[in-house]
């Protein structure tokens, strides 16, 4: 390297560092991430006055009619028709589905996040705690041609350290995007979900709830719930509970406190899911730190969920961010709430690895050690490390390498068959030092 080359490299590094300090010092209006994944410049007071319900009413009166949603092959996400807008209440003319650019998957949500603002897509939830439960639905677009099973396609970002310098524009033909988010009353929430449940065929009278993990935005949580429903061919109502994770910083302590604080709100949310007409079976998937929120609920005395007995059909603990050593003492709270429990352990789950940076050296329940995953009586432990480097967190560069995990989830939700090796041939029984577990092959 010549002296001239060294000088130019030094200049570039110093320039980039100066830009980082400038952006962090508040010399521009802070940017916020909108519900569609784009970055919007926030005005001095981005929140309109009045309660969120008033904002929603004002927004709905100004929005164009929603595209009609129809089922795809009777089992998966819905179609968004793009060739012109509907006129009033007149039915849209039939179109060749090959002319559509994306599917639309509806996700029903509950959250104790606060509404940050309203935009053209509806309510935009941030990372602040609202201190109350908000219900609604969000419609997520899934690109027809670009989508690959297990993956959430999002725009490429270019940045320096933690500062995003450039992000490609969202395009529903290539990316998951938010089409519309609507806040609902409890009766409207249950009525809409009931309509989906009553029309389900492949997963008749069945619902699933996804609880996201560490460092996840509201939009990211709904993207993952939509991806799971779509790739599973799940035609029942898909629900997501989103607690106030920061979603942008590695603030482990803050996220953990928010997760545990959400237990009471989640209790009411699950009660509404159980009471939805047409829903007879409810499965729950908790990822990473979402298991801490679930633990706070299950170990709390006098909850609605606790009074229901084994109300949950299949409970999936995906790379759970719980202390492995203490889990055996609390496992009874989990088995008392669910008819069947499956632990998906992954040695390379990115959300779990990120959370471990802020913890001590004690082993996490979702990790896989030299002797295999943690084995607990009454819980099926499966090592899924071979099929991917990420489970259910939003990671744009890692995804399941085959359908193994999706196939097992689908079979689990459909039949609940045990032991795991009986429902999926890719699962091999292993005799570990502490008991039997299963390993998923590619």
pLDDT in tens, 236-257: 999 999 999 987 766 788 999 9
User: How many domains are there within the chain?
Assistant: 1
Reference 372, options 288, 433, 323; nearest CA is: 433
Q: Average pLDDT, stretch 153-157?
A: 82
β-pair partners for 208:
238, 283
Is residue 49 assigned to a domain?
A: no
Q: pLDDT by residue (tens digit) across 382-414?
A: 999 888 655 565 443 333 446 888 999 999 999
**CA 429/CA 420 separation, integer angstroms:** 9
pLDDT for residue 170:
83
Does residue 163 register a pLDDT over 80?
no
Give, as one character, the DSSP assignment of residue 318.
Answer: E
Contact 238, 108 (CB under 8 A): yes
Is residue 1 assigned to a domain?
A: no
Pick the more confident residue, 6 or 98. 6
pLDDT for residue 55:
40
Is residue 428 assigned to a domain?
A: yes
pLDDT for residue 150:
85
pLDDT for residue 75:
37
Is residue 366 assigned to a domain?
A: yes
What is the per-residue burial (b if ≥16 Cβ within 10 Å, else e) of 151-171?
A: bbbbbeeeeeeeeeeebeebe
pLDDT band, very low/low/confident/very high, at 43 (cuts 50, 70, 90):
very low
Sign of the CA dihedral with 193 first, then 268, 323, and 328 last? negative
Reference 359, options 321, 316, 306, 311; nearest CA is: 321
Cis peptide before 419 (omega within 30 of 0): yes
Secondary structure class of 409 (helix, strand, coil): helix
Contact 152, 394 (CB under 8 A): yes
Contact 229, 106 (CB under 8 A): no
Pick the more confident residue, 111 or 22. 111
**CA 119/CA 349 separation, integer angstroms:** 34
Taking CB atoms within 8 Å and a gap of at least 24, the contacts of 251-259 are: 252/214, 252/355, 252/357, 252/358, 252/359, 253/358, 255/214, 255/215, 255/289, 256/289, 256/292, 258/129, 259/289, 259/290, 259/292, 259/293, 259/296
Beta carbons within 8 Å of 2's beta carbon, 6+ residues apart: none
Does residue 199 register a pLDDT over 70?
yes
Domain range for 269 is 55-158+166-440
Q: Average pLDDT, stretch 172-195?
A: 96
Is residue 376 assigned to a domain?
A: yes
Please give the share of the chain, as a percent, with pLDDT higher than 70: 68
**CA 232/CA 75 separation, integer angstroms:** 9
Is residue 115 assigned to a domain?
A: yes
Find the range with the poorest average confidence among 7-21, 126-140, 316-330. Answer: 7-21
Beta carbons within 8 Å of 6's beta carbon, 6+ residues apart: none
Is residue 132 assigned to a domain?
A: yes
Q: pLDDT by residue (tens digit) across 414-440?
A: 999 999 999 999 999 999 998 999 999
**CA 441/CA 435 separation, integer angstroms:** 19
Does residue 349 register a pLDDT over 60?
yes
Is residue 37 assigned to a domain?
A: no
């Amino acid at each position: 390297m010549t002296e001239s080359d060294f000088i130019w490299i030094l200049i570039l590094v110093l320039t980039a560092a100066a830009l980082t300090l400038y952006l962090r010092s508040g010399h521009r209006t802070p940017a916020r991430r909108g519900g569609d994944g784009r970055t919007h410049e926030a005005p001095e007071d981005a929140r309109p006055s009045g309660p969120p319900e008033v904002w929603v009413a004002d927004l709905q009166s100004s929005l164009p009619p929603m595209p009609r949603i129809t089922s795809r092959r009777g089992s998966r996400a819905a179609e968004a028709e793009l060739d012109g807008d509907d006129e009033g209440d007149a039915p849209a003319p039939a179109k060749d589905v090959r002319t559509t650019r994306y599917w639309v998957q509806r996700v029903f949500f509950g959250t104790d996040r606060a509404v940050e603002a309203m935009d053209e897509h509806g309510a935009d939830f941030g990372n602040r705690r609202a201190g109350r439960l908000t219900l609604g639905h969000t419609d997520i677009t899934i690109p027809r041609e670009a989508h690959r099973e297990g993956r959430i396609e999002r725009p490429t970002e270019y940045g320096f350290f933690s500062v995003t310098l450039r992000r490609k524009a969202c395009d529903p033909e290539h990316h998951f995007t938010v089409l519309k988010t609507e806040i609902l009353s409890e009766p409207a929430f249950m009525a809409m979900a009931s309509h989906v449940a009553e029309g389900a065929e492949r997963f008749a009278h069945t619902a699933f709830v996804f609880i996201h993990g560490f460092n996840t935005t509201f939009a990211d949580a709904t993207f993952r719930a939509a991806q799971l429903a779509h790739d599973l061919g799940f035609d029942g109502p898909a629900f997501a509970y989103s607690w106030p994770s920061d979603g942008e910083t590695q603030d482990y302590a803050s996220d953990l406190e928010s997760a545990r604080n959400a237990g009471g709100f989640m209790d009411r949310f699950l009660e509404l899911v159980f009471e939805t007409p047409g829903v007879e079976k409810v499965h729950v998937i908790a990822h990473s730190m979402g298991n801490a929120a679930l633990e706070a609920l299950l170990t709390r005395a006098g909850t609605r969920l606790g009074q229901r007995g084994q109300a949950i059909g299949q409970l999936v603990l995906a790379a759970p961010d719980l202390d492995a050593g203490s889990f055996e003492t609390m496992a009874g709270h989990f088995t008392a709430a669910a008819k069947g429990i499956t632990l998906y352990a992954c040695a390379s789950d990115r959300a779990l690895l990120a959370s471990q940076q802020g913890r001590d050296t004690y082993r996490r329940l979702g990790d896989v050690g030299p002797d295999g995953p943690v084995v607990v009586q009454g819980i099926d432990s499966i090592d899924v490390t071979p099929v991917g480097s990420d489970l259910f967190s939003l990671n744009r560069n890692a995804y399941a390498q085959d359908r193994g995990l999706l196939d097992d989830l689908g079979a689990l939700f459909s039949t609940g068959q045990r032991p795991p090796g009986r429902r999926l041939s890719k699962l091999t029984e292993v005799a570990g030092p502490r008991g039997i577990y299963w390993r998923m092959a590619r």
